[in-house]
């Protein structure tokens, strides 16, 4: 029992480490070769995890081998456009200039109903509002609406919004993000002074952030009843 538990923990850590090195994409954004490697890694990890008769290294070594394959393919993808097209494929235009391309739908084995479903996930309920619908290599559909159906942008009204920049976490659940504070050229005394304006102290803060415009947000932790 303890052996199974230990093997499961070790393999979990290895798989987590490998997936972390593979990048931060969501499952729906994986390229075909990435999805294939992810499935194979899961399969390889499950065998020595469930069968103590199989040496644990029989699972770890192939997993690391797949990691090397992933890194090699990713490098080739970055360096060669032709290789990228062969490995990942090319985007397909399902709606071209407002018209559904039936031949492309058949080629990609897409029905009109599936296309409508994907458009609804992009907040498009009317096919007539779409200028282009592009099936990306990761299976996602990118939508470009017709000019008169697009959301109004500030530049359409000759308005230039103020630059907001990035928002930095300063305190998360009472823990001070020292690296972010250092990036801002601030110190603990400054942070203490800012939280004092909210009648609290850094250790009692649930979340505190600041953006590049200097807008400081702070929320204190809820006090637990004894």
Q: Could you tell me which residues come within 8 angstroms of residue 191 by beta carbon, excluding any fewer than 6 positions away?
A: 170, 171, 176, 181, 202, 208
- 152 φ/ψ sector (left φ>0, alpha ψ -120 to 50, else beta): beta
Helix (H, G, I), strand (E, B) or coil at 92: strand
Contacts of 3 (CB under 8 A, 6+ apart): 52
Distance CA 95, CA 146 (A): 12
8 Å CB contact between 176 and 129: no
pLDDT tens figures, 159-217: 877 777 788 999 999 899 999 999 999 999 999 999 999 999 999 999 999 988 888 99
Q: What is the model's pLDDT at position 170?
A: 95
Could you give the strand order of the β-sheet that contains 130-135, starting from the edge strand earlier in sequence? Answer: 99-100, 92-96, 130-135, 141-145
Residue 118, both tokens: 């994907």
Residue 187 DSSP symbol: -
Residues 53-70: pLDDT tens digits? 788 888 888 888 888 888
Hey, what domains does the chain have and what are their CATH numbers? 2-86 (no CATH), 92-149 (3.30.240.20), 167-220 (3.30.240.20)
């Amino acid at each position: 029992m303890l052996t199974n538990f230990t093997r499961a923990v070790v393999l979990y850590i290895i798989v987590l480490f490998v997936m972390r090195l593979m990048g931060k994409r969501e499952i729906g954004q994986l390229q075909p070769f990435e999805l294939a490697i992810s499935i194979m890694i899961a399969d390889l990890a499950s065998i020595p995890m469930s069968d103590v008769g199989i040496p644990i290294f029989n699972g770890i070594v192939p997993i690391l081998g797949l990691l090397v394959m992933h890194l090699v393919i990713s490098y080739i993808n970055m360096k060669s456009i032709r290789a990228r097209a062969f490995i990942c494929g090319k985007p397909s235009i399902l709606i071209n200039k407002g018209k559904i391309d039936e031949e492309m739908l058949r080629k990609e084995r897409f029905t009109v109903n599936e296309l409508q479903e994907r458009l609804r996930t992009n907040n498009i309920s009317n096919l007539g509002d779409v200028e282009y619908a592009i099936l990306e290599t990761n299976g996602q559909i990118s939508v470009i609406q017709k000019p008169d159906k697009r959301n109004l942008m500030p530049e359409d009204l000759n308005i230039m919004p103020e630059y907001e920049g990035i928002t930095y976490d300063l305190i998360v659940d009472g823990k001070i993000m020292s690296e972010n504070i250092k990036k801002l050229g601030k110190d603990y005394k400054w942070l203490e002074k800012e939280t004092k304006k909210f009648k609290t102290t850094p250790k009692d803060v649930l979340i505190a952030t600041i953006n590049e415009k200097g807008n400081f947000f702070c929320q204190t932790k809820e006090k637990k009843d004894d």
